[in-house]
Chains A and B, each alone.
Chain A
Amino acid sequence: GAVVSQHPSRVICKSGTSVKIECRSLDFQATTMFWYRQFPKQSLMLMATSNEGSKATYEQGVEKDKFLINHASLTLSTLTVTSAHPEDSSFYICSAREFGTGSNSPLHFGNGTRLTVT
């Protein structure tokens, strides 16, 4: 089945630094990838939609200058949390839909990145 790889799985950083999270589709091409955020015991909240070769679309309330998204190829999207603060500590999960399968095909998720900002 479709595999989405996310790296790193866990990162601890100091307040004010930036952190980059990578999301790769390993055995399929993905023109669209999605970035979610999940707080403990809560559901997934969509942050942004990443489109290969174009600017990401951010959900209301998500700061695009703080959460930089780059989707440079059909298999890689990156999320950079800039000037991270403790309130940015969360579980970040990417997902992807296989290219050519239509907007109704299921999403496949990475294993998430747990970010802790001290």
Chain B
Amino acid sequence: QKEVEQDPGPLSVPEGAIVSLNCTYSNSAFQYFMWYRQYSRKGPELLMYTYSSGNKEDGRFTAQVDKSSKYISLFIRDSQPSDSATYLCAIGETSGSRLTFGEGTQLTVNP
């Protein structure tokens, strides 16, 4: 079993839709959670990070963490064609500095 599971998609939605991206993890030692966006042939770009359960909002993006279920989500409201990219969840342990990445979900927002 992978430490971090993420549905690779592809996910295709119309412009304006609400997008839900999810990851599950198995290691309860994971304590901080990040979402990165990666455009084709580019490095990952940090979108959001959080250390606690609950919601964190930044503009059209909301990150949600449920530590009891070991489940994290990223919601994108009013999705735009420019949001079309691969979204990677990344989860870190309390000690040390490793990040474990999900496989990435490929999102296409159609105009």
How many residue pairs, one in A and one in B, have C-beta atoms under 8 Å apart? 57
B34 touches A106 (CB 8 A): yes
Identify the stretch in B11-19, B40-48, B55-63, B70-78 within 8 Å (CB) of chain A at 4 or more residues.
B40-48
Tell me which residues across on chain A come within 8 A of B51, comparing CB atoms: 104
Residue of chain B at shortest CB distance from A91: B41
Verify if A67 is at the interface (C-beta below 8 Å from B): no
B44 touches which one: A6, A42, A44, A103 (CB < 8 A)? A44
Scan residues 26-66 of chain B and give those whose CB is less than 8 A from a CB of chain A: 31-32, 34, 36, 41-46, 49, 51
Verify if B97 is at the interface (C-beta below 8 Å from A): yes
Tell me which residues across on chain B come within 8 A of A111, comparing CB atoms: 42-43
User: Which B residues are closer than 8 A to A by beta carbons?
Assistant: 6, 8, 31-32, 34, 36, 41-46, 49, 51, 88, 90, 92, 94-99, 101-104, 106
CB<8 Å pairs between A and B, sample of 30: A34-B97, A34-B99, A41-B106, A42-B103, A42-B104, A43-B6, A43-B88, A43-B102, A43-B104, A44-B44, A44-B88, A44-B101, A46-B98, A49-B97, A49-B98, A91-B41, A93-B43, A95-B43, A95-B44, A97-B97, A103-B96, A103-B97, A104-B31, A104-B32, A104-B92, A107-B90, A109-B43, A109-B45, A111-B43, A112-B41
